Structure 1
Amino acid sequence: MTSHPPQRSDLRTRPTPALLRAAVIGTAALMLALIAGRPELILAGAPMLVWALVALARRILRGEERTVVDPQLRVNRRSIEEGGTAAITVRTSPGVLMAATLPLPPHVDVAPRRGSLAGDGEVRLRVSAQRWGMISAGPVHVLVGDPLGAYRAQRSLPAAEVQVVPASTVLDAPVEVPTPIGVSGVHLSRRRGDGTALSEVRAFRPGDRLHRVNWRVTSRTRQLHTNATFTEQDTEVLIVTDTIADVAPAPWSPTDAPTSLDMTIRATSAIARHYLTAGDRVSVFDIGHLIGPVPPGSGPRQLRVLSAALSRASRDDSVHRSPRRLRSVRPGTLTVVCSPLLSKDTIAQIGVLVAHGADVIAVDTLPPSIGDVSVLRGKAMRIDGRISDRFWPEAWALRRLLRERTVRELREAGVPITAWEGPSSLAPVLLSLSAARSAPRRRRS
């Protein structure tokens, strides 16, 4: 069967009201000048009639028909990072003027602000996203016309979906973990074996490899000695995210202040990138339902899979679902819980992880403006320059005080807690994990 080439979709152009007015007024002026014998009317109507005739003649001489190629929308990048820019190009027939405008989504900047004009049938718009997620650039309203403005047509193009992944923050933290549980990697184990880190120099034993013989010590002691090393292992990193509720910052905070979900997503992305770069296996488990589970994996592919899963997280909390529960975890797994520590289900999940022998770190993602206790000392809350009479800040201040009890109990149970404040948030906690390993742990029988 012979396949026919796809038909070109065309856009029908129509005369503009300006062309119709010029033709009617110019013709009427000339007729009145001939009938009434008033030549001054020719000076009033001739320019408009000449403009209409030039527009028509130009259209005929250039071979321009009533149709132009239907505008096509293309996006150069379907995935960008926070703060990144994607270029949206709209193209149609060459030699026509075109204007394109699109509505401004939240947390998105468009340049030029009100669209763009082009003389060669092409318009380029730059879309910059300031927050992770899926943004819908459009629908794009396109207006095409000839250079004289005599003929035009318009069309609305469907919106272009652009995926915005969390910014690639590099953690200022060590990659060492307290309990390496893999086979090979960059983490030093307490077990001696094949590796590059020197453990001790000892007497040669049957089975030792000859290339590890320490000839300097051997020549001095007249007895064969060899270098003993520590094994180098990888580890498994589990990131537990709490997306049960998205806590917005205080009303007096800046408009670009992050919510608890923003902080959770950015912390998860930074931690995953940190350990995937070190060669570890990283997985994600979401107690809520906004992020799908990401199975363990390593390497650049796992980073792309995880970034895509984070960017697809929806902010729509209209559907209430029961929180997920992680049934088991491998002992020694480095587990990072990113949560505002407000849900009882999350606190219970941390207890289960500790009971199973995991090395747990809690990253507090509650916005710092939430629960400002200064309102309890008589500080007035101002919104838009006016003093608010609502008790919203007092209620959150009391809720934060109640939360401090939970934080204290978790720390007493050996779970280090740090507030997410950027790339350097995790460094002191990772360094203190070795001390947390000595805390008593309860295991299920």
Structure 2
Amino acid sequence: MNSGDSRQNELRTRPTAALVRAAIIGGVSLALALVLGRPDVILVGLPLLVWALVALARRTLRGEERAVVDPQQRVNRRSIEEGGTAAVTVRTDPGVLTAATLPMPPHADVAPRHGALAGDGEVQLRISAQRWGKIRVGPMHVLVADALGAYRAQRTLAPAEVQVVPASTVLDAPVEVPTPIGVSGVHLSRRRGDGTALSEVRAFRPGDRLHRINWRVTSRTGQLHTNATFTEQDTEVLIVTDTIADIAPAPWSDAEAPTSLDMTIRATSAIARHYLAAGDRVAVFDIGHLIGPVPAGSGPRQLRVLTTALSRASRDAGALRPARRLRSVRSGTLTVVCTPLLSRDTIAQIGVLVSHGADVIVVDTLPPSIGDTSVLNGKPLRIDGKVSDRFWPEAWAMRRLLREKTVRELREAGVPVTAWEGPSSLAPVLLSLSAARTAPRMRRS
């Protein structure tokens, strides 16, 4: 680094108020002792004068400059998962007392607890994310001083951003799909071809592969037989997210309770991770256009692209976004709709997907704490121990009862609806779809 750059990165220190007061009091007491001829007066300010002289001599004898290196802020991880931790390090010159104070970001914990720490030339604070999204780290206030506290300087560092992606929840569910439509993969197809799952042992035909000859049956029957297998295919999974509105619990309820957007994002991340691990192609279409469309892809790169897109979604409390419509979908596509089932546009979109021949599953992401129907049985709402006259719980309870009609109609139309309750939410639905796929069917004459 040249001298010009070093001067730009220097932080000018100034005498502290304590040094100024010590010098003034010590000098005044010395002057009064000389003027009044009373040596005992100097004892009043002698300790302060000695401290000031020691601080000045220490700065001069050690050859310390009047400036220190400008504090540098570094975040070790720009992207973390929910529950993960990022470290924020502030570094100056060795031997310089460095104190850093960090504002408490929402939905995150800071260690030390109050966001303030001091150290010798370097301090490190840790931020633990409790919810997906963006965490604004800073602006951080940094104070540097010498060991005696005689010279100091302060600087406010620009804030940094940490991306928090949804937690890597692993679904406790099978990977079978009702209708594989790809070329190769892990899903067992109904049609016969190259694969590993045995379909039948039959007589050899021209064109059969020689390595599939069943020599045991051939030797027993005296006629050449071969193993017929089912093909194995991948599929395309389309996750439709409903971000038209973020439905939050009541302000007086648990502050850490998830909103409908939280549950939608976490369900989308878990489902995408589940099928990408199986080698399928996963795409995302957002009805509310908060996340933005993610084209179909597969592999670890697609998972990074998808989780990054999910974490960039912003929360606008109470904001309603216009609905977007999916124009077409490939027949046989496994479509998972993550929605609180409150918007007519979303319900209409589910009907369109079914009419296009997609295998549709609806994941209900309305938080269970919203619309508790027990208030309709005369149970009063209490806030801080007092009975409230608000009608919010009753209104949401009535809305949940009306929503049950929509759920019932979807199920009667053959669309399974399951509430998102964690990694095991989709297991019963996928198992029932797999059973329905392999069940015997009546053949029409």
Q: TM-score, normalised by structure 1?
A: 0.95
Q: Does the 8 A contact of 2:140 with 2:159 survive in 1? A: yes
Q: Does the 8 A contact of 1:414 with 1:436 survive in 2? A: no
Write the deviation string for residues 264-296 of structure 1: whole angstroms up to 9, x where unpaired.
Answer: 000000000000000000000000021011000
Which residue number in structure 2 is paired with residue 23 of structure 1? 23
Task: Find the aligned partners of 1:252 and 1:315 in 2 and give their Cα distance.
Answer: 19
For the pair 1:179 / 2:146, whether they are aligned, the reply is no
Query: Relative to 1, partners in 2 of residues 1:293 and 1:369: Cα closer, same or farther, differing over 3 Å?
Result: same
Structural mapping, 1:38-437, within 5 Å: 38-114=38-114, 115-119=116-120, 121-316=121-316, 320-434=320-434
Displacement of 1:321 after TM fit? 4.1
Write the deviation string for residues 31-61 of structure 1: whole angstroms up to 9, x where unpaired.
Answer: 2122223222222211111100111111112
SS in 2 for 1:396: helix
Amino acid at match of 1:133: G
Q: Does the 8 A contact of 2:245 with 2:321 survive in 1? A: no
Task: Find the aligned partners of 2:72 and 2:215 in 1 and give their Cα distance.
Answer: 73
Task: Find the aligned partners of 2:436 and 2:152 in 1 and give their Cα distance.
Answer: 72
Task: Find the aligned partners of 1:232 and 1:435 in 2 and give their Cα distance.
Answer: 18
Task: Find the aligned partners of 1:320 and 1:422 in 2 and give their Cα distance.
Answer: 27
* Unaligned runs of at least 5 residues, structure 2: 439-445
* Unaligned runs of at least 5 residues, structure 1: 439-445
SS in 2 for 1:389: coil
Displacement of 1:317 after TM fit? 5.4
Displacement of 1:113 after TM fit? 2.3
Q: Does the 8 A contact of 2:245 with 2:320 survive in 1? A: no
SS in 2 for 1:407: helix
Q: Does the 8 A contact of 1:416 with 1:436 survive in 2? A: no
CA RMSD across the alignment: 1.7
Task: Find the aligned partners of 2:225 and 2:285 in 1 and give their Cα distance.
Answer: 49
SS in 2 for 1:89: strand
Displacement of 1:358 after TM fit? 0.3
Task: Find the aligned partners of 2:254 and 2:223 in 1 and give their Cα distance.
Answer: 72
Q: Does the 8 A contact of 1:139 with 1:156 survive in 2? A: yes
Displacement of 1:215 after TM fit? 1.0
Displacement of 1:91 after TM fit? 1.0
Task: Find the aligned partners of 2:145 and 2:271 in 1 and give their Cα distance.
Answer: 52
Query: Relative to 1, partners in 2 of residues 1:5 and 1:190: Cα closer, same or farther, differing over 3 Å?
Result: farther
SS in 2 for 1:11: strand
Task: Find the aligned partners of 2:62 and 2:432 in 1 and give their Cα distance.
Answer: 77
Task: Find the aligned partners of 1:239 and 1:62 in 2 and give their Cα distance.
Answer: 66
Write the deviation string for residues 226-273 of structure 1: whole angstroms up to 9, x where unpaired.
Answer: 111110000000000000010112345322110000000000000000
Task: Find the aligned partners of 2:319 and 2:416 in 1 and give their Cα distance.
Answer: 33
Displacement of 1:386 after TM fit? 2.0
Task: Find the aligned partners of 1:292 and 1:5 in 2 and give their Cα distance.
Answer: 46
Amino acid at match of 1:26: G
Write the deviation string for residues 212-236 of structure 1: whole angstroms up to 9, x where unpaired.
Answer: 1111111111111111111000000
Which residue number in structure 1 is paired with residue 443 of structure 2? none
Amino acid at match of 1:334: L
Query: Relative to 1, partners in 2 of residues 1:225 and 1:435: Cα closer, same or farther, differing over 3 Å?
Result: closer
Amino acid at match of 1:357: G
Which residue number in structure 2 is paired with residue 443 of structure 1? none
SS in 2 for 1:22: helix
Task: Find the aligned partners of 2:29 and 2:63 in 1 and give their Cα distance.
Answer: 30
Q: Does the 8 A contact of 1:15 with 1:151 survive in 2? A: yes
Task: Find the aligned partners of 1:386 and 1:106 in 2 and give their Cα distance.
Answer: 28
Query: Relative to 1, partners in 2 of residues 1:436 and 1:365: Cα closer, same or farther, differing over 3 Å?
Result: farther
Task: Find the aligned partners of 2:3 and 2:429 in 1 and give their Cα distance.
Answer: 65
Amino acid at match of 2:153: A
Task: Find the aligned partners of 2:96 and 2:360 in 1 and give their Cα distance.
Answer: 63
Amino acid at match of 1:207: G
SS in 1 for 2:30: helix
Displacement of 1:437 after TM fit? 6.7
Aligned pairs, number = 436
Q: Does the 8 A contact of 1:252 with 1:382 survive in 2? A: no
Which residue number in structure 2 is paired with residue 442 of structure 1? none
Which residue number in structure 1 is paired with residue 441 of structure 2? none
Q: Does the 8 A contact of 1:108 with 1:127 survive in 2? A: yes
- Of 283-292 and 310-319, more deviation after overlay is shown by 310-319
Q: Does the 8 A contact of 2:246 with 2:318 survive in 1? A: no
Task: Find the aligned partners of 1:108 and 1:20 in 2 and give their Cα distance.
Answer: 41
Q: Does the 8 A contact of 1:290 with 1:315 survive in 2? A: no
Displacement of 1:318 after TM fit? 7.1
SS in 2 for 1:291: coil
Task: Find the aligned partners of 1:281 and 1:169 in 2 and give their Cα distance.
Answer: 19
Q: TM-score, normalised by structure 2?
A: 0.95
SS in 2 for 1:144: strand
Task: Find the aligned partners of 1:268 and 1:187 in 2 and give their Cα distance.
Answer: 21
Displacement of 1:5 after TM fit? 7.3
Query: Relative to 1, partners in 2 of residues 1:143 and 1:113: Cα closer, same or farther, differing over 3 Å?
Result: same
Q: Does the 8 A contact of 1:169 with 1:423 survive in 2? A: yes
Paired-residue identity, %: 82
- Of 320-329 and 289-298, more deviation after overlay is shown by 320-329
